[in-house]
Amino acid sequence: MPGKDFKKSAHEETEAENARTKNFEDLFKALLEDTLKDQKSLEGKIVKGRIVAIDHDAIVVNVSSKSEGRIPLKEFGDAERSTLKVGAQVDVYIERYEGRDGGMILSHQKAIQEVTWMKLAQAFEEKKPISGKILGMVKGGLSVDLGGTVAFLPGSQVDIRPSRDSGELIGTDQMFLIVKIDEARGNIVVSRRAVLEEERASDKARLLSELKQGMIVKGVVKNLAPYGAFIDLGGIDGLLHISDLSYNKRVSIEDVLRVGQMVEVMVIRFNRENERISLGLRQLEKDPWQTIHEIHKVGSIVPATITNITEYGAFAELSEGIEGLIHAREMTWHKKDVIPSEVVAQKDEVQVMILEIDSAKRRISLGLKQCTENLFEIFSKNYPVGSQVETEIKGITEFGLLVTLPHGIEFAVHKSELSWTLPPDEALSRYHIGQRIQLKVTKVSCEEEFIGLSVKQVSNNASMARLQAIEKGQNIKARIIRIADSGLEVDLGGDVLSFIHRSELGEDSTHQNPHFYKVGDVIEAKVTKINVQTQQVLLSVKALDLEERSRILSEYTGNVEKENSFSSALERALEFKE
């Protein structure tokens, strides 16, 4: 039937249309799912995008023909922002798709970070230095920009030597070595010190191969010390000792050098084995000692400035780099034991005489007193040999008396010149400070700066007559005037004194105690020795006792042998005294 066939045909067409529609939807769904699948696979990756629009705060970037996204302008630096234009390509990081409409969340900054991170990871694996800019101070160190990724530079890794102030590095580009990288946390630790040490090692090897004694090199002052300065020659340090700083010994390290200063120095000693380098600065100057004899002459009087005072003298500067020593004995005619600080003061301007020049040892001997009148010459004119002078005892030493002579000359009277008869030490003990004494001038030598003085030669006329009346072997009476542990001091009359040693007071120790006697007692003794020139008389009580015993035995026993024995003992005692 025609109507029935028509309905059947329309129904079939509808079903066919529905099938086509379903197939199209399935195909579209499949295509969409494939597209979304492809898009999902791009999430977290860096791709090239094309700028399709720019507004006041962002750019629109087309990643594919189907997807676009916005990137804020603040993610671009000033330099990059000036180059942005429609149609230009930029690196973008696809964070995610927002939905079926294909909207995308994009980031240019993360794209840069990802690229940078990959480069940093590669540099870390290969241990290659990278460039970065120091941004500023943070706790424990500095922050560093490694091309968009911020790293941490510990304070201990800033320089080879610890530095108190690293602020001068802020804003500068430096080379770093990555020592630690943590991708999960996004942490990077770098070291500038490692790069410097590597450069230093390379420079050091090169420098050691080229360095020679006498070479002039440039370096940077790294550190100052009381004994000198350390100079960085580029990979290795050398020591500039203070003695090689300048020919002027008064110059200090701080007067010439400062840390960080570039200097030119000479290699004066170099030990390649232990890598020790001694440097000199003064060696680059003209040595004033090479022409010393042209500038200064022995015997000339020149002006000088006192630069330093010591216990043994004072140093004086004659000219730049030339110093001499004024020894204490050359400071004044008055004293032998001079305290230099009592004569001159630092920075005093004085006149000195050049006494000696030793250019080999770089020494000059100077005299201060030679620029004044010689007091020994004045004294010799007023007090010739044989004259007498009265003075006061200023001091007593184990050697004698210290006195001050006219014209202010301080001198000594040796203890051997105190008495003709007393032992020197015994004679010395009789004097005291402040006592006035009469002295005889026995010698004056201006060249030797010596004056001979004597107490015992002042008045010997009366004693001479008494001495001439005394003979060896004579028995003589003497009055005790002083008792000492070592013996008795006695007066023989006529200003002649003698001293009987305790060993001559008796034959044994029981009779040799000086304290058995008292001052004023008159005792008899035998003269065992006499010297008129030195006015020395030696007495012995023991010799007198031996003689008396010999006489008594001879009278009452007639024993010749014993008489001869005692006589021989007496003779031996007398011979021993000779």
Whether residue 564 is predicted with pLDDT greater than 60 in this model: the reply is: no
Range of the domain at 308: 288-367
Write the pLDDT tens digit of every residue in 443-457: 888 878 888 898 888
- Residue 397 CA to residue 144 CA, distance in Å, equals 79
Whether residue 37 is predicted with pLDDT greater than 70 in this model: the reply is: no
Q: Which helix (H) or strand (E) holds 444?
A: strand 436-445
Whether residue 277 is predicted with pLDDT greater than 60 in this model: the reply is: yes
The pLDDT score that the predictor gives to residue 4 is 53
The pLDDT score that the predictor gives to residue 366 is 92
Same domain? 481 vs 552:
yes
Same domain? 408 vs 341:
no
Q: Is residue 568 part of a domain?
A: no
Sign of CA dihedral 263, 264, 266, 272: positive
Q: How confident is the model at residue 432 (pLDDT cuts 50, 70, 90)?
A: very high
Whether residue 315 is predicted with pLDDT greater than 60 in this model: the reply is: yes
The pLDDT score that the predictor gives to residue 576 is 45
Same domain? 292 vs 347:
yes
Average pLDDT over residues 212-239: 86
- Burial of 544 from C-beta contacts in 10 A (0-12 / 13-18 / 19+): buried
Q: Is residue 6 part of a domain?
A: no
Whether residue 403 is predicted with pLDDT greater than 70 in this model: the reply is: yes
Whether residue 25 is predicted with pLDDT greater than 80 in this model: the reply is: no
More confident residue, 316 or 208: 316
- Highest mean pLDDT among 233-237, 465-469, 487-491 belongs to 487-491
Q: How confident is the model at residue 533 (pLDDT cuts 50, 70, 90)?
A: low
Q: How confident is the model at residue 560 (pLDDT cuts 50, 70, 90)?
A: very low
Q: Is residue 575 part of a domain?
A: no
Q: Is residue 34 part of a domain?
A: no
401 close to 339: Cβ distance less than 8 angstroms: no
In 3D space, the residue among 321, 319, 309, 318 whose CA is nearest the CA of residue 365 turns out to be 318
The pLDDT score that the predictor gives to residue 578 is 42
Structural domains counted in the chain: 6
Write the pLDDT tens digit of every residue in 116-159: 777 888 888 888 898 889 998 888 888 988 877 888 988 888 88
Instruction: Tell me the CA distances in angstroms from 549 to 158, 503, 511, 572, one per residue in order.
Output: 107, 18, 15, 15
- Residue 70 CA to residue 388 CA, distance in Å, equals 123
Same domain? 280 vs 298:
no
Q: How confident is the model at residue 433 (pLDDT cuts 50, 70, 90)?
A: very high
**Tokens at 461, concatenated:** 């006329």
- Highest mean pLDDT among 48-57, 74-83, 99-108, 243-252 belongs to 48-57
Poorest-confidence range of 44-48, 226-230, 270-274, 573-577? 573-577
Whether residue 106 is predicted with pLDDT greater than 70 in this model: the reply is: yes
The pLDDT score that the predictor gives to residue 32 is 47
Same domain? 395 vs 444:
yes
Same domain? 445 vs 417:
yes
Whether residue 340 is predicted with pLDDT greater than 50 in this model: the reply is: yes
Q: Is residue 342 part of a domain?
A: yes
Average pLDDT over residues 458-479: 77
The pLDDT score that the predictor gives to residue 66 is 64
Same domain? 253 vs 310:
no
Average pLDDT in the chain: 81
Same domain? 510 vs 440:
no
The pLDDT score that the predictor gives to residue 14 is 66
Average pLDDT over residues 320-348: 85
- Residue 246 CA to residue 266 CA, distance in Å, equals 13
The pLDDT score that the predictor gives to residue 400 is 92
More confident residue, 426 or 391: 391
**Tokens at 336, concatenated:** 């032998």
The pLDDT score that the predictor gives to residue 365 is 92
Q: Is residue 193 part of a domain?
A: yes
Q: How confident is the model at residue 424 (pLDDT cuts 50, 70, 90)?
A: confident
Instruction: Return the DSSP state at 338.
Output: -
Alpha helices in 416-458 (DSSP H): 424-428
Same domain? 268 vs 337:
no
Name beta bridge partners: 540.
Answer: 526
Write the pLDDT tens digit of every residue in 343-388: 889 888 889 999 998 888 888 999 998 888 888 888 888 889 888 9
Strand, coil or helix: 267: strand
What is the CATH classification number for the domain harbouring 187? 2.40.50.140
- Residue 413 CA to residue 403 CA, distance in Å, equals 8
**Tokens at 70, concatenated:** 């916005």
More confident residue, 99 or 307: 307
More confident residue, 118 or 15: 118
Q: Is residue 185 part of a domain?
A: yes
Q: Is residue 39 part of a domain?
A: no
Same domain? 52 vs 107:
yes
Instruction: Tell me the CA distances in angstroms from 493 to 250, 431, 496, 514, one per residue in order.
Output: 68, 21, 6, 21
Which of 197, 219, 254 is the C-terminal boundary of a domain?
Answer: 197
The pLDDT score that the predictor gives to residue 199 is 79
Cα-atom radius of gyration of the chain, to the nearest Å?
A: 56
446 close to 376: Cβ distance less than 8 angstroms: yes
More confident residue, 121 or 25: 121
Share of the chain above pLDDT 90, in %: 7
Which of 197, 219, 238 is the C-terminal boundary of a domain?
Answer: 197
The pLDDT score that the predictor gives to residue 234 is 77
The pLDDT score that the predictor gives to residue 242 is 87
The pLDDT score that the predictor gives to residue 223 is 86
Average pLDDT over residues 222-234: 86
- Residue 404 CA to residue 397 CA, distance in Å, equals 15
Which of 232, 264, 284 is the C-terminal boundary of a domain?
Answer: 284
